[in-house]
Structure 1
Amino acid sequence: MKPFVLLATRAEDLPADEEYALFLRYSGLTPDQLVRVRLEAGPMPRLDLDALSGIFVGGGPFNASDPFEKKSPVQRRVEAEFQTLLDEVVVRDFPFLGACYGVGTVGAHQGAVIDRTYGEPISVVPVTVTEAGASDPLLAGMPATFNAFVGHKEAITRLPSSAVLLGSSPGCPVQMFRVGENVYATQFHPELDVEGITTRIHAYAGHGYFGAGELELTLSAVRRAAVSHPSRILRAFVERYAR
C-alpha cells in the first residue's frame, strides 16, 4: 500500500507524539503506512502525490486569521507551503483530510472568511450532519447528530462557493466541509479521545484556550458527554483511499 502522510505543526513533543499515536490508532494504519512530517521543525519536503494514498493534517497553534505581522517566521513558512501543496491537491482532487488546522489551510486556500466570530472553548459539542453530509462517503453510518471534541480560537464565518458544507454545530456553523470530491476539512478533532484531549488541555494551559483558574472546569467540560463517532471518519478515509 502507498503510505499516507500526516502533516503536523505541534512544537511540544508530548502532544505531538500523542497526536501521531491517535491518528495511527483510529485510522488503523501502522507507522510505516502513516509517515509523519513535523512542519514546525523544518520545511515541508516535496510530496510526490503519485506515491501517496492520501494526506492528513493535524491541529496546531497557528491561526490563519492572525495579522501577518504577528505571525512567526515558522507560521509564515508553513502557510506558504500549504498554499503551494493545496494548489496541486485541489486541482488533482487528491485525498486530503485536515483536522482543525485543516479548516485554516483549506479554507484560506479557497478564500473562506476566517475570523474569531465562531471560536469555541475546549469542550464537547453536537455536530449535525447536513443533507450533503448524509450522502458523503466519509460520514456513512454516522448518526444525524454526533458529539465531537472542539477547541479553537478561529473558524470559518463564510464558506466559498467551491465548498460543500457537511456538518455544523450550534456555536460554529462550519464544522466540516468538502472541496471537490476528495478534499476534506473538519473544525472538530476526529482523532481525539478523552485521554488525548486531556493531554492537550494540560499542554496548552497557557495558550489562551481557557482562562487562568479554569483548568478543572475545562477538564470537566470534555467529560460531560461521550464522544465515540468522529474517529470513524479517519477509518473511512483510509478505507476509501488506500491504494
Structure 2
Amino acid sequence: MDIRFDGRTIIVTGAASGIGLAIAERLAESGARVIVSDIDQAAAEAAAERIGHGALARACDVSKPEAVEALVDFAVTETGALHGIVNNAGIGGAQAATGDYPLDSWDKVIGVNLSGVFYGTRYGIAAMRKTGGGVVVNIASILGSVGFANSVAYVAAKHGVVGLTKSAALEHAGDNIRVNAIGPAFIHTPLIDEHLDDATQQALAQMHAMKRLGKPSEVADLCCYLLSDQASFITGSYHLVDGGYTAQ
C-alpha cells in the first residue's frame, strides 16, 4: 500500500527519539512536512536534521497549554496549515504502589501523558477545522486497557487517553476530523537499552505472546495508516500493537 502525505503538515510530539522519531521519519519519507517537537530544542533540531525532507524543529513542554498552542501556531505559520497531529510525548513516572505513590510524580505523569494529549488534541482540532479537516492520533499504551502494578499514574493517564480519543472522535466527525489511539506494548527503544539490562528485557519479552519486544517501526506503520486517507472510515478506535500481550 503506497501511502503519501504530500502537501500535508503533521506535528509529532516527543519526536526526538524512539517511537516518535520512527513516526516522524516514516511521515517525512512519505512526503509530509513534519514538525518535530520535543521538550529539548537541541534534540528536536538534531532529529529534524536527521529526518530531512524539510522537517522543522520546535521545543514544547506538552504539559503547558500555552506551549502546545504555540507549537500549533508555529506549524500553521511556517507551513500554512495543519493536517494532522500525533500526540506521542510521554513519561514513565515513579514505580510505587497506589497507597504509597508520590503525589509529585502523579501530577507530572498526568500533566504530560493525559493533559498533554488533551492540549494537543484541543489545539490541533482548532487549527484543522480551519484547514477543512484532519487527523489526530494519540499514542496510548496497552496500559490504556489493562492494569500494571506500581504504575498507577501511567495506567490512569493512558486509560484517560483512550476515553478522550473516543469522545473527541464523536464530537468532531462532523468537522471532517478523525481521532484514533494506538496502544503499543513494550517497544524496544534506546530508552529501554539505557535503563534495562538484558535479563530484564528478556523477561519483558516473555510477557508477550510473540516472545519479543516490539519495534518502533511497527508502531510507525500503523500510525501512518491511521493518518492516511486509506483509513478514512476509522475514527474513535483504539488499536493495539502488542504482540499478543493483552490476548493472554
TM superposition score category, shorter chain reference = 0.3 to 0.5
By percentage of residues, which structure has more strand?
Answer: 1
Q: TM-score, normalised by structure 1?
A: 0.46
Q: TM-score, normalised by structure 2?
A: 0.45
By percentage of residues, which structure has more helix?
Answer: 2
